[in-house]
Amino acid sequence: MLGVGSFKTITEVLFPAAVPSIIAGLRIGAGLGWMSLVGAELIASSSGMGYLIVKGQSAIATDIVMAGMLAIGFVGVLIDVALRKIESKLLRHRQT
């Protein structure tokens, strides 16, 4: 359109417009993936944070269960913060 090539249209119009949706999808997918991983560890695993929580629950060790829950939450927040930083770097030109 207006003499601009397809590569330039993709890199300067389509991709910048799609980045917010792509990052939002990555953040949602990372959260769901993390929840699924921990859930799978809770059900059938011999290692990991979910397994640690189950072992603490069976041993009635509230401190281990709470530490595991805090660690899971902390890792989830780290994933989200990392993706937000990536988003801010990719969308630096859009911030006004």
Per DSSP, the three-state class of 56 is: helix
96 confidence band (pLDDT: 50, 70, 90): very low
Domain carrying residue 69: 6-91
Distance between CA atoms of 57 and 44, rounded to whole angstroms?
A: 15
Q: What integer is the mean pLDDT of 88-95?
A: 74
Q: Is residue 59 part of a domain?
A: yes
45 CB-near residues (< 8 Å, 6+ apart): 51
Q: Which two tokens stand for residue 64?
A: 């281990």
pLDDT score recorded for residue 1? 56
Q: Is residue 1 part of a domain?
A: no
Q: Is residue 96 part of a domain?
A: no
For the segment 1-45, what is each residue's pLDDT rounded down to a tens digit? 567 788 888 888 888 888 889 989 999 999 999 999 998 988 988
Q: What integer is the mean pLDDT of 34-63?
A: 90
Q: Is residue 42 part of a domain?
A: yes
Number of domains observed in the structure of the chain: 1
Higher pLDDT, residue 2 or 66: 66
